[in-house]
Chains A and B, each alone.
Chain A
Amino acid sequence: MGRFLLRRLLSAAATLLVLSVVVFAFLNVLPGNPGRAIMGNLADEAAVQALNDELGYSDPLPTRYFRWVGGVLQGDFGQSYAFQRDNGPLIWDALFESSKLALMAFSLVVPLSLAGGVLAGLRKGRLADRTISTVGLSGIAIPEFVSGLFLVFLFAITWEWFPGQARAEEGANVLEQAYHLVLPSLTLVIVLFGYIARMARAGTIDAIESDYTRTATLKGLPRSTVLRRHVLRNGLVPTVAVVSTQVGYLIAGLAVVETTFVYPGLGSLIIQAIPKRDFPLLQSAILVVGILYMVSTLLGDLVTAALNPRVRLGSEG
């Protein structure tokens, strides 16, 4: 386990390094000019140049890259042009709001989609399977803002059951906040359900068709025991890995859902920073997303390895 962990950590670190270079290159090598973006089209060239110098934008690229990465390693995420504040607190506050939404969505979608996927797997080819698979597929295919607005149309405008905006009033209690988050969470559930249910279905079918399940059945074990001890325990292992990789998706999906429901999370922070060409905020926020994604994938791998000795001991595929 120790060696496996070490190897995964090293490869995650290498990928993060490349990632930071790619993000930096994207935002800095391509044309664009923060001084001009801040001061507008009317400002004169000398003033724009002076501001660029002051922001350190005139330094050579490698200097700027190492200043940024060095800062991030010490917990300094730079200064936002648009908000005139440190990026660190901006990003952490937004991340806190996003994680409330993500937590609620995850706690709804994981049990739902596992149950749906296992049911579809057990009834492979029957009506229940085809319904669940088709619903799941459509949920994945339709953009979040479309399904979100459908939900708003039905539950906030036509029937007025839930609020159409995600932000509860200042100082609202947990229940009140959760109530406001119902529709945005459901939007995320619609998208994620298909992915997780599909994996759970495939894993269940694999386990049912395996030799050990046949043996267990022929041995005379009751069906419920076969399902619980043999099918589910093996069939859900691959699903664990998928659930963890969905965290990365979730953050991008959050950008759209947060914008649709006017919610101040990390996703909508990134969306707001784009038209303002707030590069320091963008590169740090995107890097944080990358780190979160790496960590969640790593956790998923570790859980998979803990559940399955073949992954832990064998060579990585």
Chain B
Amino acid sequence: MTTAVPYPPDAPPRRRLLTLRTALRSPVFLVGAAVLGFWVLCALVGERFAPYDWSATDPLQKNLSPSWDHLFGTDRLGRDVFSRVIVGARDVLTIAPAATLLGTVAGTAIGLLTGYLRGWVGQVLDRLNDSFLALPFLLVALAFVAARGPSSTTVVLAIAVGFTPIIARTVRAAVLVEREKDYVVAARLRGERAPYVLVAEILPNVLGPILVEFTVRLGYAIFAVSTLSFLGAGVQPPSPDWGLAVAENRGFFQLYWWPVLFPCLAIASLVVAINLVADALREATA
């Protein structure tokens, strides 16, 4: 015996960190992170760098096709589409992370409880979860928005409510595996109470799947925010949000394609970027 065995023995933390680091160096991750970083930057300081004021209308300059003056053209109110696309990252990149975080926290709490507690509490929560999962997520969100009326807060809550059972299921599955392991049994035999075992022992060991689920859900949250805005059930005018911009200009798509196509490209690049990051993380922790 020369060195102490690191604890927990079945998951040496140093190796885990190393695989994570190599995965984060993969080109797929880097491309995704670069595009994501660009949009985050746009959301934070885009307003200062946009060539025009995103909200300024100009009746003499409406429906101009793309040119050097207006890279992406102008919309039906004469607003610069390029500036609106830049600033349009702001709403979606505020709402989606907030909703995902809320759903992850709530889902983790429920997942920990249903995975660890046997007996009727776990069973009742499980049944409720199943019936939620039986509905397509977008419909749950739409019903919620229908009941409360569209606003940014409603969208955050709607998406969080929709995500909670999905994340709870992932966390529950991970907890079911962990609870049988020696370190949990040891803690229980030591006489630790359930809250301590859950938070101090099990939670740190299921953070990996939670992180992966978070990034995957974040991609879907952006999908959902744009879709709700597109359906008129999300962010409201005059926000330059991409989904909303598409909805507002869609009627004239055949004549003026630029105020529709550029926000579409922005949405596509953002969701694909986040999915690349999520995929790299999933492979690193797998």
Partner-B contacts on A (CB < 8 A): 14-16, 18-19, 22-23, 26-27, 30-32, 137-138, 140-147, 149-150, 152-153, 156-157, 164, 248-249, 251-253, 255-256, 259-260, 270-271, 273-275, 277, 279, 282, 286, 289-290, 293-294, 297
A30 to B149 Cα, complex, angstroms: 10
With contacts A144-B227, A271-B142 taken as known, whether A251 is within 8 angstroms of B147 at the C-beta atoms is no
List the B residue with the shortest CB-CB distance to A293.
Answer: B134
A66 to B216 Cα, complex, angstroms: 39
Inter-subunit contact A26/B143 (CB<8 Å)? yes
For chain B, the count of residues having a C-beta within 8 Å of the partner chain is 43
Selected contact of B227 from candidates A15, A30, A145, A249, CB within 8 Å:
A145
Inter-subunit contact A252/B137 (CB<8 Å)? yes
Inter-subunit contact B131/A143 (CB<8 Å)? no
Inter-subunit contact A18/B139 (CB<8 Å)? no
Interface positions, chain B 202-251, Cβ under 8 Å from A, are 219, 223, 226-227, 230-233, 243, 246, 250
With A18-B128, A248-B136, A255-B138 known, 5 other A-B pairs at CB within 8 A are A16-B134, A22-B128, A141-B223, A145-B227, A255-B139
List the A residue with the shortest CB-CB distance to B128.
Answer: A18
Q: Give 1 or 0 for each of B245-286: 1 = CB within 8 Å of chain A CB.
A: 010001001100100110010011001101100010000000
Which residues in A have their C-beta under 8 angstroms from that of B267? 142-143, 146
B183 within 8 A of A: no
List the A residue with the shortest CB-CB distance to B263.
Answer: A146
Inter-subunit contact A141/B271 (CB<8 Å)? yes
B144 within 8 A of A: yes
With contacts A145-B227, A149-B264 taken as known, whether A286 is within 8 angstroms of B147 at the C-beta atoms is no
Which 6 residue pairs spanning A and B have beta carbons closest together?
A252-B136, A18-B131, A30-B147, A252-B138, A274-B146, A141-B275
Inter-subunit contact B271/A142 (CB<8 Å)? yes
Which residues in A have their C-beta under 8 angstroms from that of B139? 251-252, 255, 270, 286, 289
With contacts A149-B253, A252-B139 taken as known, whether A141 is within 8 angstroms of B132 at the C-beta atoms is no
7 contacts between A and B (CB under 8 A): A16-B131, A19-B134, A26-B144, A27-B146, A141-B219, A164-B253, A259-B230
B53 within 8 A of A: no
Which residues in B have their C-beta under 8 angstroms from that of A146? 226, 246, 264, 267-268
A260 to B231 Cα, complex, angstroms: 9
B127 within 8 A of A: yes
A256 to B223 Cα, complex, angstroms: 12
B148 within 8 A of A: yes
B134, chain A: closest CB distance, angstroms: 5
List the A residue with the shortest CB-CB distance to B219.
Answer: A141
Interface positions, chain B 124-159, Cβ under 8 Å from A, are 127-128, 130-132, 134-140, 142-148
- Chain A interface secondary structure, helix, strand, loop or mixed? helix
Inter-subunit contact B231/A259 (CB<8 Å)? yes
A40, chain B: closest CB distance, angstroms: 15
List the B residue with the shortest CB-CB distance to A144.
Answer: B227
A294 to B271 Cα, complex, angstroms: 30
Inter-subunit contact A26/B147 (CB<8 Å)? yes
Inter-subunit contact B136/A22 (CB<8 Å)? no
- Chain B interface secondary structure, helix, strand, loop or mixed? helix
List the A residue with the shortest CB-CB distance to B127.
Answer: A18
Contacts between the two chains (Cβ within 8 Å), count: 141
A156 to B257 Cα, complex, angstroms: 12
With contacts A32-B147, A143-B226, A149-B260 taken as known, whether A14 is within 8 angstroms of B135 at the C-beta atoms is no
Which residues in B have their C-beta under 8 angstroms from that of A252? 136-139
Which residues in A have their C-beta under 8 angstroms from that of B147? 26-27, 30-32
A157, chain B: closest CB distance, angstroms: 6
List the B residue with the shortest CB-CB distance to A254.
Answer: B136
Which residues in A have their C-beta under 8 angstroms from that of B271? 141-143
Which residues in A have their C-beta under 8 angstroms from that of B268? 138, 142, 146-147, 150
List the A residue with the shortest CB-CB distance to B146.
Answer: A274
A270 to B260 Cα, complex, angstroms: 24
List the A residue with the shortest CB-CB distance to B136.
Answer: A252
Which residues in B have their C-beta under 8 angstroms from that of A156? 254
Inter-subunit contact A255/B142 (CB<8 Å)? yes
B164, chain A: closest CB distance, angstroms: 13
A150 to B246 Cα, complex, angstroms: 12
Which residues in A have their C-beta under 8 angstroms from that of B223? 141-143
Which residues in A have their C-beta under 8 angstroms from that of B264? 146, 149-150
Inter-subunit contact A289/B246 (CB<8 Å)? no
A145 to B134 Cα, complex, angstroms: 24
A249, chain B: closest CB distance, angstroms: 6
Inter-subunit contact B275/A270 (CB<8 Å)? no
Inter-subunit contact B143/A275 (CB<8 Å)? no
Inter-subunit contact A142/B272 (CB<8 Å)? yes
Which residues in B have their C-beta under 8 angstroms from that of A32? 147
Inter-subunit contact B135/A143 (CB<8 Å)? no
Inter-subunit contact A149/B143 (CB<8 Å)? no
Which residues in B have their C-beta under 8 angstroms from that of A297? 134
A143 to B279 Cα, complex, angstroms: 18
Selected contact of A289 from candidates B135, B145, B146, B260, CB within 8 Å:
B135
A156 to B128 Cα, complex, angstroms: 45
A295, chain B: closest CB distance, angstroms: 11
Which residues in B have their C-beta under 8 angstroms from that of A141? 219, 223, 271-272, 274-275
Which residues in A have their C-beta under 8 angstroms from that of B143? 23, 26-27, 282, 286
